[in-house]
């Protein structure tokens, strides 16, 4: 039986998952691939810790360069994470004519273009299914299954940590702080949770998906990103009363001359399937002109789900090697010279429905002052709820709007904030899934 030689960089959580799948599911993989995946070398600084999987001693090395320079190795699996060292090793592997599989979403989203250019020039694969949505075949679905479609929009729950925390607050009424502490205790959040709770991780994934879907260059810095740290049990309770749940959504919409790209906490109707994606699970809805909406749902992170995606990339590349296929699919879905120059829409230009919560003094005339300002800025109110729940010296006034423009909302809220009857900064949460154009 033929052998495909693999070199793994990084024997951490996901790296260990890859080793386990390749070893423990060796038989079934061979029966589907018609060849053996041979893990020739694993590089890690720590070559002592027992990872719960048996490997020969001579497989483990400390120097990653030995792996990427080994002429016998066909595919490099980069699982060290971080940016600088990972990038240098991937570039060296590409230069040496090796195919690369990675789960490094930060690197791909922030510096991917240079890596893909290098890989395309050398004629090698750079595969990254494991960087988005764990075990879900999201990259494959966009690059292959929907190849005949114009993709119109994507809406996803792409960060398990945020979804776990928001589910906790929704179910138990915990505060953000308590829910985060519990997520950390249960291994669903890092000691430093910034990348997750500030929405940056979801934005990395959205950048990658949008490049694949719309044929644009990766432009991570232009994505509007807002995290979940300001979400309170009170807003979640109000959301529930109005038939919504709050999720951190990654949203992209093709508006023809520009693409909307944004990550923020969002209210969605409870009967939307995304509302029912709970705990650390992920899901993505892709809307396209011929297939309509499809939804993918599954574990978006974790040792085994992420490793499962990396193994599917490894087998895809091995199948190319064995069948003699070169450059079978453009790495970023579109052929050279066919990548669109399309701008990313400023968040100020987007239009959506909004939820506002004001802390107001309990006096007559407050409502007319607020609605007066909104009206002047062309913001039409759909409903007002004044719930008499006194919080300290003020009462919450909640408003849901019809479709409004973000720039108008910002201006109006700045003025309302200055009204003498308003205490504190107004809370704003965008609502999606209300109108046909939303999903």
- Shortest Cβ distance from residue 156 to its own copies (Å)? 13
Q: In angstroms, what is the minimal distance from the CB of 147 to its own copies?
A: 5
For residue 330, the minimal CB distance to its own copies (Å) is 7
Beta bridge partners of 265: 248
Identify the burial level of 21 via C-beta atoms within 10 angstroms of its C-beta, where 0-12 means exposed, 13-18 middle and 19 or more buried: buried
Find residue 127's DSSP bridge partners. 101
Q: What is the C-alpha to C-alpha distance for residues 293 and 374, in angstroms, rounded to an integer?
A: 34
Distance of CA 25 to the CA centre of its chain: 28
- Nearest residue to 300 via CA among 104, 158, 138, 137: 158
- Our CA angle for 230, 235, 240, nearest 5°, is 140
Please, which residue, 176 or 188, has the CB nearer to its own copies?
Answer: 188
Q: Which is nearer to its own copies, 120 or 395 (CB)?
A: 120
- Sort strands 151-157 and 224-225 into parallel, antiparallel or unpaired: unpaired
Q: Calculate the CA 189 to chain-centre distance.
A: 15
Residue with smaller CB distance to its own copies, 294 or 419: 294
Could you write out the DSSP letters of every residue in 223-261? SEE--STT--HHHHHHHHHTTEEEEEEEEEEE-SSEEEE
Q: Which of 140, 205, 247, 253 is catalytic?
A: 205
188/132 Cα distance (integer angstroms): 17
Nearer to its own copies, 35 or 428 (CB): 35
Q: Which is nearer to its own copies, 10 or 302 (CB)?
A: 302
Q: How far is the CB of 316 from its own copies (least distance, A)?
A: 7
- 410 is an active site residue: no
What is the three-class DSSP state of 77? strand
Q: State in angstroms the smallest separation of the CB of 272 from its own copies.
A: 9
* Residues of the shown chain interacting with its own copies in the complex, contacts defined by CB under 8 A: 17, 21-22, 25, 28-34, 129, 134-137, 140-141, 143-150, 215, 271, 273, 276, 288-299, 304-305, 307-309, 311-312, 315-316, 319-320, 322-330, 333-335, 338
Burial class (CB in 10 A: 0-12, 13-18, 19+), 48: exposed
- Rounded to 10°, the helix 233-241/160-172 angle is 70
With respect to its own copies, which residue has the nearer C-beta, 287 or 401?
Answer: 287
Please report, in angstroms and rounded to a whole number, the separation of the first and last CA atoms in the chain: 48
At 429, list the tokens. 């949460």
> In terms of CB distance, is 52 or 71 closer to its own copies?
52
Q: 179 and 165 in contact (C-beta within 8 Å)?
A: yes
Q: Considering the complex, what minimum distance in angstroms separates the CB of residue 308 from its own copies?
A: 4
Q: Tell me how far, at minimum, the Cβ of 397 lies from its own copies, in Å.
A: 33
Give the residue numbers marked as catalytic: 205
């Amino acid at each position: 039986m033929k052998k495909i030689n693999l070199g793994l960089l990084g024997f951490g959580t996901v790296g260990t998952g890859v080793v386990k799948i390749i070893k423990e599911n060796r038989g079934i993989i061979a029966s589907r691939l018609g060849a053996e995946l041979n893990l020739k070398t694993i590089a890690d600084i720590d070559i002592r810790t027992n990872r719960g999987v048996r490997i020969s001693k001579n497989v483990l090395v400390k120097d990653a360069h030995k792996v990427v320079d080994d002429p016998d190795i066909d595919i490099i699996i980069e699982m060290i994470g971080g940016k600088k060292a990972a990038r240098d090793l991937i570039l060296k592997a590409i230069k040496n004519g090796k195919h690369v599989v990675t789960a490094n979403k930060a690197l791909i989203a922030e510096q991917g273009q240079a890596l893909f250019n290098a890989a395309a020039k050398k004629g090698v694969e750079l595969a990254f299914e494991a960087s988005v949505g764990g075990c879900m075949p999201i990259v494959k679905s966009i690059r292959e299954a929907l190849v005949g479609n114009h993709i119109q929009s994507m809406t996803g729950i792409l960060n398990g940590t945020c979804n776990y925390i928001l589910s906790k607050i929704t179910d138990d009424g915990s505060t953000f702080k308590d829910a985060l502490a519990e997520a950390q205790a249960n291994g669903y959040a890092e000691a430093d949770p910034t990348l997750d709770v500030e929405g940056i991780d979801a934005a990395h994934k959205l950048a990658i998906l949008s490049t694949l879907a719309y044929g644009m260059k990766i432009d991570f810095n232009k994505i509007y990103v807002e995290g979940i740290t300001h979400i309170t049990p009170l807003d979640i309770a109000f959301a529930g009363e109005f038939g919504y749940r709050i999720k951190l959504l990654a949203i992209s919409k093709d508006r023809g001359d520009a693409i909307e790209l944004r990550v923020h906490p969002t209210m969605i109707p409870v009967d939307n399937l995304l509302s029912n994606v709970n705990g650390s699970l992920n899901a993505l809805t892709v809307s396209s002109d011929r297939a309509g909406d499809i939804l993918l749902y599954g574990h978006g992170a974790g040792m085994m789900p992420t490793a499962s995606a990396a193994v599917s990339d490894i087998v895809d590349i091995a199948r190319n090697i064995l069948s003699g296929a070169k450059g079978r699919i453009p790495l970023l879905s579109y052929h050279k010279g066919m990548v669109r120059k399309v701008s990313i829409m400023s968040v100020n230009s987007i239009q959506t429905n909004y939820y506002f919560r004001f802390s107001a003094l309990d006096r007559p005339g407050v409502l007319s002052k607020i609605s007066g300002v909104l009206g002047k800025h062309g913001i039409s109110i759909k409903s007002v709820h004044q719930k008499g729940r006194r919080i300290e010296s003020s009462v919450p006034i909640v408003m849901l709007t019809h479709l409004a423009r973000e720039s108008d909302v910002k201006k109006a809220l700045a003025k309302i904030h200055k009204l003498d009857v308003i205490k504190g900064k107004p809370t704003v949460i965008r609502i999606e899934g209300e109108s046909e154009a939303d999903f």
